[in-house]
Amino acid sequence: MSKNKSNIVNNMGSQQLADLLLRLSNKRRMRVLDSMNYTQLINVLHYLDPDEITDILYNLSPRKKNKILNLMSDDIKEKVEYLLRFDPRTAAGLMNLNYVIVHPDTSFRDIAKILKKHEKKTGKIPEILVINKNGTLLGELPSYTLALHKDREKIKKYIKKIHTIPWNANKHEVIHIFRKYKHNKVVVLDEDKTVIGLIYSDDVLSLLHEEASKSIYHLASVSEEEDVMDPFWEKIKHRYGWLIINLFTEFLAAFVVSLFQNSINAIVLLAVYMPMVAGMGGNAATQTLAVIVRGLALNEIKKGVAIKILINEIMSGVVNGLITGIIVAFVAFFISKSPLIGVAVTAAMIINLIVAAVFGTIIPLIMKKLGKDPASSATIFITTATDVFGFLSFLGIATLLMG
């Protein structure tokens, strides 16, 4: 980290730094952490919940992680060490421990004492989860009931059901359950169905933001490790590989164009409409790709629906190709006085938008099936497909009609 940035960090208060760490990318967060001594780190972590501290410690070296843990209070250390045991990509890795467990025969007066004790210890009001004698979850006690009932009254009549998720569910399953049930929290259960934590909707919103960012980076073939403020040599390192691959795929499109050199020389006007056909195909493919990647990220695309999705995308491509093709055909007729070019553009537009729909749907699904990131490098292959088939269909049809 530069001297100026280090000075900025040193001049910030501990609470401000805590808020900052939660908002930074992993790479920039590591730079800030490296610029801080252990005393500063402990002061900053004091303002964070155990689950937030865990997120920060995941990426530190074992030596630094253990050093920080040993400087923490015993209560926080115990919770953080417990959370660090779990894979951060699972429900257990996303959960927090801000809850208390009670039994259904507990009175409201006792609940108030339990909450007061927890708040004094942690500084936070916990969620109230209710279990039976066997440790099985019965539900939650909504906090609003505390103000509505007598001190000696038992809580059993006011227990509300709450959704649960197994500890080893992956992050896509976590997102799915929140989308399906629209609740602000779910309970994480161990293999024996005992409660081990809670996940709040805020945690899932952060996860959705992270997934969206990854998709944007991959769609643009940019490394997640690249930062907007990186020096130019870092940007070169992260990007040149994909650009070289893209260069070779562009040679394929150029080769297709060269096959029709005589037609282009004879009818120079064809060159005017070539980028339009290829560009529309590329844009349509990117739209399809974005929808499919989002569906995969949110676990909305289930087994057996791929054909239905593909058919819908193809039908959309046919209609959109017809609409845009007719518009271009009218422009070509009035400007170029060439109805045949208009016909060729319309036909090529329909073909290329179908190609865009097929490749934009199939490529991310295939990559997902192969265990690869469904967005990674997809744009390169899709752009190549729409360029090649766009040029091939337009120039081929125009050559047949006007040759």
Give the separation between CA 402 and CA 53, rounded to whole angstroms: 69
| Amino acid sitting at position 46 | H
378 versus 188: the higher-pLDDT residue is: 188
Residue with tokens 């099936």: 369
pLDDT in tens, 242-266: 667 667 767 777 777 777 777 766 6
Mean pLDDT across 210-229: 51
Give the gyration radius of the chain's Cα atoms.
Answer: 29
| Structure letter (DSSP) for residue 143 | G
Tokens of 236: 């070169």
Give the separation between CA 383 and CA 274, rounded to whole angstroms: 14
Give the separation between CA 165 and CA 80, rounded to whole angstroms: 21
Kindly tell me if the per-residue pLDDT of 377 is higher than 70.
no
Is residue 285 within 8 Å of 358, Cβ to Cβ? Answer: no
Mean pLDDT across 325-329: 84
Q: Domain-by-domain residue ranges, the chain?
A: 3-85, 94-217, 220-402
Kindly tell me if the per-residue pLDDT of 174 is higher than 70.
yes
Q: Which residues pair with 185 in a beta bridge?
A: 200
Mean pLDDT across 161-176: 86
Q: Select from 285, 277, 286, 288 the least CA-distant residue to 312.
A: 288
Task: Indicate the range of 1-5, 71-75, 148-152, 199-203 predicted with least confidence.
Answer: 1-5
- What CATH number should be reported for the domain whose range is 220-402? 1.10.357.20
Q: Which residues pair with 154 in a beta bridge?
A: 107
- What CATH number should be reported for the domain whose range is 3-85? 1.25.60.10
Q: Where does the pLDDT of residue 373 fall: very low under 50, low under 70, confident under 90, or very high at 90 and above? A: low
pLDDT score, position 386: 87
Is residue 249 within 8 Å of 384, Cβ to Cβ? Answer: yes
pLDDT score, position 226: 47
pLDDT score, position 346: 87
User: Does 220-402 match 94-217 at the fold level?
Assistant: no
Is residue 165 within 8 Å of 188, Cβ to Cβ? Answer: yes
Average pLDDT, the chain: 79
Kindly tell me if the per-residue pLDDT of 272 is higher than 60.
yes
What percent of the chain lies above the pLDDT cut of 70? 81
- What CATH number should be reported for the domain whose range is 94-217? 3.10.580.10
Tokens of 112: 């108030």
Q: Which residues pair with 56 in a beta bridge?
A: none
Is residue 349 within 8 Å of 277, Cβ to Cβ? Answer: yes
CB burial string 335-356: b at 16+ within 10 A, e below:
eeebebbbbbbbbbbbbbbbbb
Distances (CA, A) of 24 to 20, 27, 33, 135, 373: 6, 8, 11, 39, 23
